[in-house]
Amino acid sequence: MTLFSRLVLVSCFVWAPWADAADKKTAKKAEAVIKAAPVATRPVAAIADRSAIWHTWTDKEGRKVEAQFCGLSGEFITIQTRDGRTFHFKTDILVPEDVVFAKQCLDRSRTNSFSREIIASAAADVDKLVVATLAANQQTLNAPATDEEFLRRLYLDAVGRIPTAKEADAFLTSAAPDKRAKLIDELVFSPGYSMQMFNWMADLLRVKDTFGKGIPAFTFEDWLKARLAANTPWDKMVFEMVTADGRLCDNGATGFMLFDAEMPLDGVSNLMTTFLGTNMACAQCHDHPLADWTQKDFYQMAAFFGATDGKDEGVLREINRVAKADSAVNKASVRKIAEMNAFRLNDGGKQSLTLPKDYKYKDGKPGDPVAPSLIAWSKADKSLPAYNVSTKNPAQLRDEFARWLTSAQNPRFATNIANRVWKKAFGLGVIEPVNDIDDLTQASSPELLAHLTFVMKAAKFDLREVQRVIYNSKTYQASASPTPDLGKAKYLFNGPIVRRLTAEQAWDSLVVTAVGTYADNVLLRRGDDIKVMALPAGKVTMAEVRNAIDRTKKAFAGSGKAGGKKASGGSTMGLANGYEGDKPVSRFSLLLARASELPQPSAETHFLRLWGQGDRLLADSATNDGSVPQVLQMMNGAVGRLVSDTRAEAVMAAEAVKTPEAQVRSLYLSFLARRPTPTELTAAKASLEGGLALTDLAWVLANTREFLFIR
Amino acid sequence: MNLPISADLLRNPEDRRRFLEKCAKVAFGLSVLPAFARLASAAEQKSAVKAPNAGLAGFGKAKHVIFLQLNGGMSHIDTFDPKTGPSKGPGEIVSAKGDMQLTSFLPETAKVSDKITVIRSMTAKVGVHASAAYLMRTGFEQRGSVQHPTLGAWAQHFLGSSHKTLPSSVAVNRSSNHGNGWFPAAYSPLPILNPDDGLLDTKSPVSEAVVGKRAALLAQLDAGFGGKAADENVKAYNEFYETTFQLMKSTDLKAFDLSAEPAATRARYGKGKFGQGCLLARRLVENGVRFVEVAHGGWDMHATLDDRMEDVGGDFDRVFATLIQDLEAKGLLESTLVVVATEFGRKPSFEGGGRGHHPLVFSTVLAGGGVRRGYVHGASDAKGYAPAADGVSPGSLHATIAHAAGLPVQTEIMTPAGRPMEIGNRAKPQIGVFS
């Protein structure tokens, strides 16, 4: 089934957006609106500005759909229809005018970002503050990083992988004085940026293929990918996740909240940790022993979710009831359909949270109803306009909470994400641990943290813009420090710290040495496959249940083929149908797609998990611990074979040049993004003459500590 | 109170204790730590490790620990703490060896129950799987701000490595998941996700000659970054590479190879991952590994408890009994402490066909390593709802295991972040379980 017909099929299923008659007028009008819009000098006009523009897209067969442009990444476009569904497909199915239009939309979204001058001055402000803090402690910034260090670090941070030999060479040989700023902009607007951001957020938001008892949650993954492709600001994304309604199979944004549908109180403490860096987990059961939070505080916050329900028991019962009468139908299939359709977020008319049975404090009795009330970190907080929420309408409580949560005035929302983004680039937050920032005075530099919070707000939560600022700073472009001993002294950011590659960075880098940039265009989107499991709203009949079962069978037919081998990761469900455009190459039972385009998370034996990809049960569960099995896999396992294979892109690039010197240089560029030193060149050449092949040299370079670390 | 003591004293644990004692003397005119002082003097006489608990029964008998983790929450009432009346489950109460009662779901365990200690008064507050499992694995409640180590890592800290090439800690059927806590990454348990596969990728696909040449070149080319590394994490990876090269050359690797076991032995442990995992644990212990975790899933019995006790419970029953018998037959039981832990118990009442989470009281089991044989420690009330008297916290269980393993309990160390910590979060060991 082609992508496009899949799109149509899914769209028609609940709602048919494709109109019969062409409406060129609308398209023209939309184009005019885009062209006439003023070029913003401020960062990123909010997504709302762009989304006001509706466009009727036409494919080469003349079919039409009205939708708004969300993003264009390489050859892939993402659009959103009026019912909130997002679609993602290759632009080559569209009529040429619409391809041009999509590019114009993209250009406009770029001109919405800060100019280079503004970015440079914002970066200089950060540097000023860091340098002053260092000076006050008789320290200085580290020496500037070399072009080679900067190049590799930036690729890994901005697009999640090392550069190819070609990409590295292009940068290193460029004489342009602004080549660093140029590369930053090139990378943050390339497809790899979204992939890298996905990995980072997947760990934070606990993105998992299956929720609860095996309910597939691919729609959440697709939603996140679509938002990242559109560069939706963080506050808008969080607002959408926290307020999302409806079934998971219809609305992927519900995924975040539904993850904890069975344990709503945990959901609240997870939400507080993820979005505010507030550690209320202990207060869930008793007054927090170290922080100020009381159990009452926790329950008052949880009360904002006291009218929210994560499971539609009515639908569940109804489906099971109609299915009981049909003895021929497969019970397991019915259960799957029932669970999927019952998995939804809804706000009822009553907020019913009460204090727990073992409540032991004087300010309430077990079983007392709890009134929603917001926590504050200081007395002054409560007078902020953001605290002005209405708790009258239970059905609106979640929205009210989300408005407070994502407000720029929220005392921790901007700081939390600013600190996390900083850590992503420097290896250490300004305040650690990043999931417990209640006491801001614990920051290594409270002034720097405050300034980053300011930058985050000024950029209107556009994480790409904030990262542009960071990457352009001298602080980021300084050479790296060894991991500091925080027990001895605060780290004041003389530069980034030496970091082991994340599991995803390591994997994606190995993939690029094997298949080059090919994997950048291999995209996994499986949400459509589970959308077919949805029953039409309000229609529980056996015929519909059977239809849903049939559709599901069809959608998942062939799963596990097309490289979806067991070794590639956990759930291979829908993997075969899920790849759009280019299909991944498979070697040594490894599916060579980027980490973001593989099962979430991968199977426990997969390279990614072995190197610390989180299990996604808790937020921030990724690690960078070392282990002997990691090393065994790199040396002797499938991954060791992959890098030292004659088909590997890096090896072939070296084969293509003639002299041994050039071959060694080529492999150094491929693996370490630098040229070899004279000593290294001599040693490598000698070993090639002494019987080792280029594949062996590739193996050696992949096994250096230098390959594993960002310096 | 204004004490003339420098802040530096607070950094070093030894100095900090002196500081505390000084404070205590200033405040009360005497030391508040008499018990500590007494224990400490005993430790000085008996052990090289300054363990305040060194003179007490059972200290240091367990050279090895096999820590079984029953994930999901084992129902105490349907296993090791049977009840009559409304709490009673589908299993019958049977009198087992060693003068204790078990349910009919554990027929094989009943044959070895004269070799085990059952603790029926475990108590905790956490009823959520992940956090409760964390508590049982580390002895500490989960915090956002610090990652606590497993006992394997504590042991490596106090006692050093247990073997020159084999790891000191291994995690079977589970990931290592931060097992090193705040200790160096090298203390993290080595994960074996599938016992049948053992340790994967131990053989290079290329010839030995090429392996040698590659290794030599690797040492040369990594001299720049890896060689003069000032970074701790880079150094840790240097160690991992070094250990791996040694391991590949070593015959010790056969410790991971279950195919070296007689077919009859493998069959006795059953084909399942848990059975083979326990067999692997025995092999590892036999070869000098100190601490082995083995995970067993499927205990979250909200529904169809009856069937699942037959399946999951039956699997555990056969494997556990086999492990005890096998260790005994090999003369390893007295030097190996087997622990059966689970994140919480299950409610006395039924909801649907199963029981809900219940951390207030539950059971754990200890066997070997110097603990009493055929002994029940503590009790739950008639319903199986709460401990009948003082409960045993997960921290105390950890202190007990640590005591058996010869680790100093109630002895403070400082984390790299400068937080004082003790094994089992300051809880005391249950000395009564030792013979």
Q: Which residue, among B177, B240, B358, would best test binding to A if mutated, counting the most A CBs under 10 Å from its CB?
A: B240
Q: Are A446 and A475 members of one domain?
A: yes
Please give the backbone phi and psi of residue A59, each rounded to the nearest 5 degrees, phi first. -95, 175
Q: What is the DSSP letter of A521?
A: G
In the 8-state DSSP scheme, what is residue A275? H
Distance CA A430, CA A445 (A): 7
Tokens of A323: 């299915």
Q: Which of A278, A635, A710 to mutate to test the interface with B (most CBs of B within 10 A)?
A: A635
Higher pLDDT, residue A620 or A233: A233
Q: Between the CA of residue A577 and those of A1, A555, A564, A581, what are the distances in Å?
A: 9, 8, 10, 11
**Average pLDDT for A104-132:** 85
For residues B411 and A623, the model is more confident at B411
Do the Cβ atoms of A625 and B237 come within 8 Å? no
| B208 has a chain A CB within 8 A of its CB | no
- Residues A231 and A177 occupy one common structural domain: no
Return d(Cα A279, Cα A358) in angstroms, integer.
21
Range with top average pLDDT, A214-228, A535-549, B58-72: B58-72
pLDDT at B176: 81
Instruction: Say how many CB pairs under 8 Å bridge A and B.
Output: 172
Name the residue among B125, B204, B414 with its Cβ closest to that of A635: B204
What's the burial of A465, exposed, middle or buried (CB within 10 Å: 0-12/13-18/19+)? buried
Of the candidates B175, B188, B234, the beta carbon closest to that of A604 is on B175
Measured between alpha carbons, how far is B382 from A87 in angstroms, rounded to an integer?
60
Nearest to B131 by CA among B359, B390, B360, B365: B359
- Comparison of pLDDT for B33 and A695, the residue scoring more: A695
| Residue A562 placed within a domain | no
| Residue B226 in contact with partner chain A when CB distance is under 8 A | yes
Same domain flag for A383 and A256: yes
- For residue A412, being part of any structural domain is answered with no
A residues 283..322 contacting B (CB < 8 A): 285-286
Residue A596 lies in a domain: no
A612 domain-assigned: no
Does A262 share its domain with A294? yes
Residue B20 has pLDDT above 70, yes or no: no
Query: What is the domain range of residue A50?
Result: 3-111
Query: What does the pLDDT look like over A648-659, one tens digit per residue?
Result: 999 999 999 999
Asked if residue A72 and residue A219 are part of one domain, the reply reads no
In a domain, A591, yes or no: no
Q: How large a percentage of chain A has pLDDT more than 90? A: 60
pLDDT at B25: 28
- Give ∠ CA B271-B273-B274 in degrees, rounded to 5: 100
Our CA-based measurement puts residue A297 at a distance from the nearest CA of chain B, in whole angstroms, of: 18
Shared domain check, A269 and A129: no
A262 to chain B, any CB pair closer than 8 A? The answer is no
Within this chain, do residues A63 and A127 fall inside the same structural domain, yes or no?
A: no
Same domain, A81 and A50: yes
Domain boundaries, chain B: 64-198+257-433, 200-251
ipTM of the complex, rounded to two decimals: 0.83
Q: Which residues pair with A85 in a beta bridge?
A: none
Shortest Cα–Cα distance, A484 to chain B (Å)? 8
Interface test with B, best of A153, A627, A668, A697 (most B CBs within 10 A): A627
* Residue B360 main-chain phi, psi, to 5 deg: -65, -40
Q: Is B141's Cβ below 8 Å from some Cβ in A?
A: yes
| B383 pLDDT more than 90 | yes
Q: Are residues A264 and A376 in the same domain?
A: yes
Please report which confidence band the pLDDT of residue B52 belongs to, taking 50, 70 and 90 as the band edges: very high
- From chain A, pick out residues whose CB is under 8 angstroms from the CB of B220: 680, 683
Q: Which residues of A300-320 are buried (b: 16+ CB within 10 A; e: fewer)?
A: bbbbbbbbbbbbbeebbebbb
Half-sphere exposure of B420 (CA within 13 A, CB side): 14
Q: Which pLDDT score is estimated for B418?
A: 67
Query: Would the CB atoms of A436 and B214 count as touching at under 8 Å?
Result: no
| Spatial contact of A207 and A220, defined as CB atoms under 8 Å apart | yes
Same domain, A230 and A248: yes
In a domain, A491, yes or no: no
Alpha-carbon distance values, A105 to A40, A237, B65, B419 (Å): 14, 20, 63, 53
| The token pair that represents A557 in the structure block | 């037919």
User: Are A605 and B200 within 8 A, CB to CB?
Assistant: yes
Is residue A231 situated within a structural domain? yes
Number of domains observed in the structure of chain A: 4
pLDDT tens figures, A611-634: 989 888 778 878 887 888 899 999
Q: A294 and A213 in one domain?
A: yes
Whether A709 sits inside 8 A of B232 (CB atoms) is no
| Element at A308 (helix H, strand E) | strand A308-311
Q: What is the pTM of this model?
A: 0.78
Q: Do B224 and A706 touch (CB under 8 A)?
A: yes
Length of chain B counted residue by residue: 435
Q: What is the pLDDT of residues A519-578, one digit of tens each?
A: 998 999 888 888 889 998 878 899 999 999 998 888 776 544 333 333 333 445 557 678
**CATH level 3 topology of B64-198+257-433:** Alkaline Phosphatase, subunit A (3.40.720)
> Is A512 inside any structural domain?
no
pLDDT (average), residues A459-478: 97
**A690 touches B at CB < 8 Å:** yes
* Minimal CA separation from B369 to chain A, in Å: 29
Q: Are residues A295 and A380 located together in one domain of the fold?
A: yes
Residue A702 has pLDDT above 50, yes or no: yes
Q: What is the DSSP string of A17-72?
A: ---SS--HHHHHHHHHHHHHSPPPSSS---HHHHHT--EEEEBTTS-EEEEEEEEE
Q: Is B10 on the interface with A (CB under 8 A)?
A: no
pLDDT, tens digit, 9 for 90 and up, residues A472-516: 999 999 999 998 887 778 999 999 999 999 999 999 999 999 999
Say what the pLDDT of residue B166 is: 86
